Amino acid sequence: MRPLLADVGTIAQLMRRSLVGGSVHGYWRDLAAHRESQGAGGLVVRGVAGVAYATLLPIVPLLAMRRRRLVGRALEAVVRAIVAGVEVPTAVDRAVAWLSRKGLDAVQARADIERLLAGFLSSSAAAPPSESREASSDLKTAG
């Protein structure tokens, strides 16, 4: 009975990880790695895990889409705040607080915002400033 309860706990942890992470990738691999029940108990655990997996399949993509949308809105708010003169750490803290109020994990939200903000800032800094037409023209005036 004890291994069966431990396996149900493992299934609950895998479900939570899938819901928070937005992916069911590795669900069966991790279940096989951490499953303790053997024989008939193992068959029951695989059945319960199958029902849980079938429940997750339509839900996880929707939650991942919601997460991407919220992180995008938070990134937009951070960029607007930075342009308005707010310091970067303060703007990121506000975005992380907003995302955590929306139900996202604060640590993962901070990592997402900082990763996207670094990519956004590096791509805008890497773009060379455009020169005027006259300065970039190779044509010489007659004279």
The pLDDT tens digits for 6-38 are 888 899 999 988 888 888 898 889 888 888 778
- Indicate the DSSP class of residue 127: S
Residue 26 belongs to some domain of the structure: yes
Tell me whether residue 140 is in a domain: no
Q: What number is the average pLDDT over the span 89-106?
A: 93
d(CA 67, CA 99) in angstroms, rounded, equals 9
pLDDT confidence bin for 59, thresholds 50/70/90:
very high
Is residue 126 within 8 A of residue 116, CB to CB? The reply is no
User: Based on the structure, what is the number of domains in the chain?
Assistant: 1
Structural domain including 16 reads 2-126
Task: State residue 51's pLDDT score.
Answer: 94
Average pLDDT over residues 31-47: 84
At residue 23, the pLDDT reads: 85
Average pLDDT over residues 79-84: 92
Inside any domain, residue 44: yes
Residue 12 lies in a domain: yes
Residue 122 lies in a domain: yes
Residue 134 inside a domain? The answer is no
- The answer to whether position 104 is within a domain reads yes
Phi, psi for 103 (deg, rounded to 5): 105, 5
Tell whether 83 is covered by a domain.
yes
Which phi and psi angles does 18 have, rounded to 5°? -65, -40
